[in-house]
Structure formats: C-alpha cells, structure tokens
Amino acid sequence: MKKIIILLFLFLISLPVSFAQTEEYAADDILNLYFQTIGQDKLLKTNTYVTKGKLLNGKTEIPFISYNKRLMSYRLEAEVNGMKIISAFNGVSGWTINPITGSSDPQFMTSDEAERSKLQADYNGMFYNYADKGYKVEFIDKDYVGFVEVYILKLTTPDEDEITAYIDTENNVMLKSSSYVTIEDTVAEMEMYFSQHRFVDDILFPYSVETKVNGKTEMKMMVEQI
C-alpha cells in the first residue's frame, strides 16, 4: 500500500506534419497541433482547477481531490483506510503528511523530489513554452501504442531528466508518457496511459489514467469531476 501511495503522489502532483525539416521544428509542429486539440489557449485563460475521483488498485478504491493553481502549486488530499493523506507543493518546495508511515508529521520533499514536482505540477503543461523553461524537446520516431500510430517526443531537462510522450498522429492527443523514477531507492520505468478524453469548458482532459511500473499495472485513476 505504501508503494501505491508513493505512485499516487508522483502522478497527481498531475497530445499531417512534414518531416523534411529539423527535428526541433518537426517537434514544434507536432506540439502546436497537440495544443490546438486540447484547448491550450483556453487553459491559459484559467488560474485554478479541481479534480475529484478515485484510484483503483485491485479491489481497493482510494478517493482523492486535488487543487491545482497557476503556475506550479497544488494540494492533494486522499483517504486510505480512514486515514487522510495530504501533499502540497508551492512551486519551490513541498511536503507530505502520510499517517500510513506511522507519523503525522510533515515530511519535506528532497531537492530531487521538488525538481520533479515542478514538472508534474506545471499548470500549463511541461511541453508548453518548453524552451523558456530550459527544456529540450526532440522528435524521435513514429511507433504504435496498441494499434494507434503515434509520434514519439522526448523532453529533457537541464538536470538530464527525460520524459517521453506518445502523441496520436491522427487525433493529436497524448496516449502515453514514460519516464524513469526512483521508488524506495530503486530505479523503475513508469508508464502512464491516457484515455477517455473529455472536454471541460473547451479544455481536453483524460478521465482515465493507467499507471504501469516496469510493465506491471499498479493502479488506475478514474476522474469523476473536473
């Protein structure tokens, strides 16, 4: 259960191009289509949003509510076995209260955890204005997620963290992302599969997110309201 909670916070602290150009320019073309599809211009006009739902792990259901605020702030509340878990980040530092560990004292994020939270908590999305943030994005190749053809883009931070995005070539929505994370001192590959996309005030959100660690499904997030 402890592992599941760690993964929960990793996620929630949560798309016809000519390639006869440079990889950087092709990547920008793909991202521009993605931004148009998800309603990025509408998202830029908002300052906060609230997400309610539950996480499924086998027969276990974990209700949660998250509050996101521009530019990189969030607060997440979840309930497990009657115990309330809270995690918060203000764009610079963060902390978590997790009674499951046996303590109700706030545990502050390490510098590495805070840096990763900046990626996950980015209100506009880590790919938006990526160059201004010091990130690099490159087009890697085409491939398939299931039976759907996708563009593969890789984002690299100044600290050499890498996140790979898989964007549907026809519908311009993100179907998957992958990265390597450290869980309990072990490096693991984390994949997230996005589906059941719906518009909320002309902004597209995935209402189902399946998380796999080293190829094994660890949990599924079902959004009920945004």
Residue with tokens 């309603």: 39
The string of pLDDT tens digits covering residues 132-151 is 999 999 999 999 999 999 99
The string of pLDDT tens digits covering residues 38-82 is 999 999 999 999 999 999 988 889 999 999 999 999 999 999 888
- Burial (0-12, 13-18, 19+ Cβ within 10 Å), 109: buried
The string of pLDDT tens digits covering residues 51-63 is 999 999 888 899 9
What CA–CA distance (Å, rounded) separates 80 from 98?
10
CB contact set of 81 (below 8 Å; sequence gap of 6+): 100
pTM, two decimal places: 0.85
CB contact set of 59 (below 8 Å; sequence gap of 6+): none
Across the range 84-111, mean pLDDT stands at: 92
Question: What angle (nearest 5°) sits at the alpha carbon of residue 149, between those of residues 145 and 155?
Answer: 70
